[in-house]
Amino acid sequence: MPGDPVLSVQGLSVQFRIGGAWRAATRGIDFDLAPNETLALVGESGCGKSITCASILGLLGGEGARVEGSIRYRGREIVGMPESELEKIRGKEIAMIFQEPMTALNPVMPVGEQIAEAISVHLGCSRAEAKTRALGFMERVRIPAAPERYRDYPHQFSGGMRQRIVIAMAMACQPRILLADEPTTALDVTIQAQILAELRDLCANLEMSMVFITHSLGVVAAIADRVAVMYAGEIVEIAPVAELFAAPRHPYTQALLQAIPRVDRETVTLRAIPGQVPAIAEFGSGCRFAPRCPRASEACQAVPPELAARGGPEGHRVACLAPAPVRERAS
Amino acid sequence: MTPPAPRGPLLEGFNLTKTFEARRRMGAPRARVHALDDVSLTVAYRETLGLVGESGCGKSTAGRTLLRLLEPDAGSIWFDGEDITHAVPRHMRALRKRLQIIFQDPYASLDPRMTVYETLAEVLRVHNVCPRREIPARVAELLDTVGLPPSAAGRYPHAFSGGQRQRIGIARSLSVAPDLIVADEAVSALDVSIQAQILELLARLREKRGLSYLFISHDLGVVRYFCQRAVVMYLGRIVESGPVAALFDAPLHPYTRMLRQASPVPDPVQARATVQVTGEVPSPLAPPPGCHFHPRCPLATAICRQERPAMRDAGGGRLVACHLYREEGKEGQASFS
């Protein structure tokens, strides 16, 4: 990847206090985010993707949660950073959008003013200038008739339009990193396709990096440059997007791809993954996928496998003692 | 394994219309939403019919109306050769044994204070499915059928995961030995690995018990995999129907094409191809005149803005409601002029 990473996560572990004991919800999360890159974190419910994202913004702390490891934003350590410092980074340098846009919008304030407020707070510009910029961003995310809708309230917009407003608000401060946690999951597919296309354009034009969280490999294929597949609190495989879909190596990634019924071709047999994701209190000491894995051996139960290239290219790492062989590439 | 061939209609809706009154805003006249606007569809014996469309298109209303959980304003409903549009409650109760429904969130339809045993035993009792002394054995058999351990019987709904709860919901609907199950987004809230398990279960039941399904879903991939035919709805109307492979590989209606192109596929090359997806579904309170889809349709002409397109036979078991559809030359070769 060209350039120093804007974000570098190393050995991140988030623990929660459950019934008096500290339990690790995520373990040993390592990844870098390059400038202008979109990294997808994909996995099923409870895999730790949202927790990982929240810890990047320094949102986890207090009595019930413990964050260990390192999260460096352009060289500055976020883990343990005082709240006053974090506030300078949140929104302005690293912005976040969520699945449900209403949680981020004030229901009794016109949307245009909300965007303008975010701009004047973070950039300290005049009201008039903030308004001009807010309108510019509303147009940029393709809200039709933006000047007329500047004074409309959130409830007057559809779900897709609300998500566009939240994106405009996040973009307005021109952050270097956008954290997007399932931003299209609640939307219909035709709206989802439009929002994904817009996020791709915005990232390219504003030279912004993005961490995109989703449970859908179909959405990953549409948005990501690189993909980290998570299972039970760990990254099990990380690779450039084309590589991951063409030649997945971890048994979980492979199983996940075979469990998706596809609209673009006939699926003769869908391969369900037997069993279910272990609960946080049931995490074993070895590979957490081993109980459901067709290739698991005794060694897998003992020690957690490290995320490593294992004979493949350096950018494609897999946490498995028996990964699929590296596929010979044609030409 | 492919299910046995369908033989004749089992559940049919003819020209169903259903409107709901929208909440009145101050001073404004009462507005009505046409949730179903002249909808006709047939589920054959042993057939799985998909019903797809975006939020608010009327697909759930169609499912509930066909089961008479909602009363249609107009049109008729036939089940197994009998007109049940006006069947009296006593008769409907008998029919409910044969017509069941499962929902997206089984938790909402399970009593949190009843154990799984109590929930299933109650249905067996109410419908007089078997003599009382056989109830424990029946419950055990049902749990086994849906892949839950015998120990599940004594536990409460909250103790189960989403996938397991869906199994309980399926067990409850199977307790009365139905002929047809309406599955309303039954796998939509589940993670893919669990979704595949539940689809596998539903497919096994279809084979073993000769069940028919009306499978309501917004996920075209799931519908293509699980259903034989599918019906596409937009703003209360059916726009197209046909066998799933033809429907999704070569859609005839521009809306089906848009829906298909917007559906995510796990393939980075395909997923990034430029898609022609524009606009949003308009308010169902004020649907556009003529073809409801015309404001978003790249091909719309004057007639589309004025006249409602009739449903036309496109051959090969396909129907399409589009003014621009023209048959060309040989049968099976159709295109837009």
In chain A, which residues have their Cβ closer than 8 Å to the Cβ of B199? 261, 270, 272
CA distance B56 to chain A (A): 10
Per-residue exposure over B121-152, b if at least 16 CB sit within 10 Å of its own CB, e if not:
bebbeeeeeeeeeebeebbeebbebbbbeeeb
In chain B, the percentage of residues whose pLDDT exceeds 90 is: 80
Q: What are phi and psi of B183, to 5 degrees?
A: -105, 105
CATH number at residue B72: 3.40.50.300
In the predicted model, is pLDDT for residue B330 greater than 50? no
Torsion sign (Cα): A266, A197, A227, A90: negative
SS3 state at A60: coil
Q: How many CB pairs under 8 A join A and B?
A: 128
In chain B, which residues have their Cβ closer than 8 Å to the Cβ of A161? 280
User: What local confidence, expressed as pLDDT, does residue A328 receive?
Assistant: 62
For A181, the token pair is 């946690």
Note whether A240 contacts B: Cβ–Cβ < 8 A. no
Out of B54, B191, B264, the one facing A44 most closely (by C-beta) is B191
CA distance B188 to chain A (A): 11
User: What local confidence, expressed as pLDDT, does residue B336 receive?
Assistant: 46
Torsion sign (Cα): A255, A259, A263, A267: positive
Among B52, B55, B192, the strongest candidate for a mutation testing the A interface, having the largest count of A CBs within 10 A, is: B192
In the predicted model, is pLDDT for residue A123 greater than 80? yes
Which residue is associated with the tokens 């009462």? B30
How confident is the prediction for chain B on average, in pLDDT?
91
Q: CA dist B39 to A73, A249, A269, B76, B311, Å?
A: 56, 48, 33, 10, 11
In chain B, which residues have their Cβ closer than 8 Å to the Cβ of A277? 191
Q: Give CA–CA dist A152/A161, Å, rounded.
A: 12
| Structural domains counted in chain B | 1
Q: CA dist A122 to A202, B118, B284, Å?
A: 20, 58, 40
ipTM: 0.90
How confident is the prediction for chain A on average, in pLDDT?
92
Which residue is associated with the tokens 């219309």? B17
DSSP class of residue A263 equals: S
Q: Is the full-model pTM beyond 0.80?
A: yes
Note whether A141 contacts B: Cβ–Cβ < 8 A. no
User: What local confidence, expressed as pLDDT, does residue B25 receive?
Assistant: 66
Q: What H or E segment, with its residue span, contains residue A278?
A: none
| Least confident range of A292-296, B24-28, B129-133, B200-204 | B24-28
| Least confident range of A165-174, B212-221, B294-303, B311-320 | A165-174
Note whether B261 contacts A: Cβ–Cβ < 8 A. yes
- Label residue B7 by pLDDT band (50, 70, 90): low
Show which of residues 30-69 on chain B sit within 8 Å of chain A, judged by CB atoms.
54-55
Note whether B151 contacts A: Cβ–Cβ < 8 A. no
Could you tell me the end-to-end alpha-carbon distance of chain B, in angstroms, rounded to an integer? 39
Tens-place pLDDT, residues B162-185: 899 999 999 999 999 999 999 999
Show which of residues 307-326 on chain B sit within 8 Å of chain A, judged by CB atoms.
none
Assigned domain for B195 exists:
yes
In chain B, which residues have their Cβ closer than 8 Å to the Cβ of A142? none
B224: nearest CA partner in chain A: A263
Note whether A242 contacts B: Cβ–Cβ < 8 A. yes
- The mean per-residue pLDDT over the stretch A109-125 comes to 91
Which residue is associated with the tokens 């047809």? B180
Note whether A142 contacts B: Cβ–Cβ < 8 A. no
Report which of A171, A168, A150 is spatially closest to residue A160, judged by C-alpha positions: A168
Give the residue numbers spanning the domain of B196. 9-22+31-98+178-252
Contact B262 A245 (CB under 8 A): no
For B20, the token pair is 């709901």
In the predicted model, is pLDDT for residue B329 greater than 70? no
Name the residue type at position A37. Answer: E
Q: CA dist B236 to A221, B16, B116, B152, B232, Å?
A: 32, 10, 37, 41, 10
Tens-place pLDDT, residues A265-282: 998 888 889 888 888 888
Tens-place pLDDT, residues B238-295: 999 999 999 999 999 999 999 999 999 999 999 888 777 888 888 888 899 999 999 9
Whether domain A1-93+176-279 has CATH 3.40.50.300: yes
User: How many residues are recorded in chain A?
Assistant: 331
User: What local confidence, expressed as pLDDT, does residue B26 receive?
Assistant: 67
In the predicted model, is pLDDT for residue B196 greater than 80? yes
Note whether A132 contacts B: Cβ–Cβ < 8 A. no
Tens-place pLDDT, residues B13-53: 999 999 998 776 666 677 888 999 999 999 999 999 999 99
User: What local confidence, expressed as pLDDT, does residue B282 receive?
Assistant: 87
Q: CA dist A275 to A42, A52, B194, Å?
A: 19, 25, 9
Q: Give CA–CA dist B193/A46, Å, rounded.
A: 13
Torsion sign (Cα): A133, A139, A144, A145: positive
In the predicted model, is pLDDT for residue A22 greater than 60? yes
SS3 state at B264: coil
Tens-place pLDDT, residues A27-75: 999 999 999 999 999 999 889 999 999 999 888 877 788 999 999 999 9
In chain A, which residues have their Cβ closer than 8 Å to the Cβ of B2? none
Q: Give CA–CA dist B216/B49, Å, rounded.
A: 8
In the predicted model, is pLDDT for residue A186 greater than 80? yes
CA distance B263 to chain A (A): 6
User: What local confidence, expressed as pLDDT, does residue B144 receive?
Assistant: 94
In the predicted model, is pLDDT for residue A1 greater than 60? no
Note whether A117 contacts B: Cβ–Cβ < 8 A. no
Domain-wise residue ranges, chain A: 1-93+176-279, 103-174
Tens-place pLDDT, residues A303-325: 999 999 999 999 999 999 999 99
- Label residue A2 by pLDDT band (50, 70, 90): low
User: What local confidence, expressed as pLDDT, does residue A91 receive?
Assistant: 87
Query: Do the beta carbons of residue B58 and residue B39 sit within 8 Å?
Result: yes
In the predicted model, is pLDDT for residue B2 greater than 70? no
Q: What are phi and psi of B201, to 5 degrees?
A: -60, -45
SS3 state at A68: strand
Tens-place pLDDT, residues A217-267: 999 999 999 999 999 999 999 999 999 999 999 999 999 999 999 999 998
User: What local confidence, expressed as pLDDT, does residue A329 receive?
Assistant: 55
For B24, the token pair is 């009145």
Contact A190 B262 (CB under 8 A): yes
Tens-place pLDDT, residues B301-322: 999 999 999 999 999 999 999 9
Note whether B275 contacts A: Cβ–Cβ < 8 A. yes
- The mean per-residue pLDDT over the stretch B145-172 comes to 93
User: How many residues are recorded in chain B?
Assistant: 337
Out of A44, A189, A217, the one facing B262 most closely (by C-beta) is A189
* B252 dihedral zone (left: phi>0; alpha: psi -120 to 50; beta): alpha
- 3-class SS shares of chain B: helix, strand, coil, % to 5: 35, 25, 40
